[in-house]
Every structure is written in structure tokens, then in C-alpha cells.
């Protein structure tokens, strides 16, 4: 229910304008909040969304590992670090591709995996 009016108008009609106290503030740990969010995501109506999100994270994880061990910038001998591999994978999956790295000089199977 919503009541509109100034504080004086509300007081004249006998409506209290004081707010009840909410009680002591409680803090919820990050782990508990995450557990609650996962529980909400796994409810019947959100199950498909949870499956898609899990598959997306699995794809990003697998692609990061492949890029780390197989991608060699400028066809050199050094591999990308895990953080650079994750960055490259996320920018590829998100299709933002800033051009930091290129598949053009990589092996054909890595070139094909970059398309996916």
C-alpha cells in the first residue's frame, strides 16, 4: 500500500510517520551468498540457464588450456602464460577480438579451433 502526502498531512490524518527499526544489521558471508545464488540457479525454472553457464565456463577453461600449450605468438618457441591465454580465450568467445594475438601463423588444427 502506498500513501501520498506531506508529513504534516499524514500526521493530521493520524498516520504515523516514524519508521520501525529494522533490528540489528546482519552480515552474510560471501560463501553463503554464493551458495544461495547457486541454489537459485539450480531451481527448476533456471536449470537450463545453469547448464548453459556451466558449459560456457567449461568451454572457456578447456580453450584456455589449449591456447596455453599450443599457441605460440609470432610462431616462436614461447607459450602464452595462463593469464594471457585466459584473456585471449575470453576476448575470442566474447567476439571482441582486439587483435592482440592472431591465429594466422598457427598450425591448421589451432586455426580451426580459433574459429569455434
SS3 87: helix
Structural domain including 105 reads 28-115
How does pLDDT run across 56-103, given as a tens digit for each residue? 999 999 988 988 888 777 666 677 788 888 888 887 777 776 666 666
Q: State the total domains in the chain.
A: 1
Q: Which of the residue ranges 1-5, 8-12, 30-34, 69-73 would you say has the lowest mean pLDDT?
A: 1-5
Domain assignment present for 38: yes
Question: Higher-confidence residue: 90 or 115?
Answer: 90
Domain assignment present for 83: yes
Domain assignment present for 14: no
Domain assignment present for 1: no
Domain assignment present for 91: yes
**55: pLDDT confidence band, cut at 50, 70 and 90?**
very high
Query: pTM value?
Result: 0.51
User: Among candidates 78, 48, 65, 49, which has minimal Cα distance to 110?
Assistant: 65
pLDDT value of position 18: 76
The CATH number for 75's domain is 1.10.287.70
**114: pLDDT confidence band, cut at 50, 70 and 90?**
low
Domain assignment present for 15: no
pLDDT value of position 65: 92
Reply yes or no on whether the pLDDT at 14 is more than 60: yes
Determine the Cα angle at 7 with ends 4 and 8, to 5°.
115
Q: Residue 43 and residue 9: Cα distance in Å, rounded?
A: 46
Domain assignment present for 17: no
Domain assignment present for 99: yes
What is the DSSP secondary-structure string of 1-57? ----S-HHHHHHTT---PPPP--S-----HHHHHHHHHHHHTSGGGHHHHHHHHHHH
Amino acid at each position: 500500500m502506498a500513501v501520498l502526502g506531506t508529513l504534516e498531512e499524514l500526521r493530521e490524518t493520524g498516520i504515523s510517520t516514524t519508521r520501525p527499526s529494522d533490528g540489528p544489521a546482519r552480515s552474510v558471508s560471501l560463501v553463503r551468498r554464493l551458495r544461495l545464488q547457486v541454489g537459485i540457479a539450480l531451481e527448476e525454472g533456471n536449470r537450463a540457464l545453469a547448464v548453459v553457464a556451466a558449459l560456457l565456463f567449461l568451454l572457456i577453461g578447456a580453450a584456455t588450456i589449449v591456447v596455453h600449450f599450443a599457441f605460440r605468438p609470432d610462431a616462436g618457441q614461447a607459450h602464452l602464460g595462463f593469464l594471457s591465454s585466459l584473456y585471449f580465450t575470453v576476448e575470442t568467445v566474447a567476439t571482441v577480438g582486439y587483435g592482440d594475438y592472431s591465429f594466422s601463423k598457427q598450425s591448421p588444427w589451432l586455426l580451426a579451433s580459433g574459429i569455434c
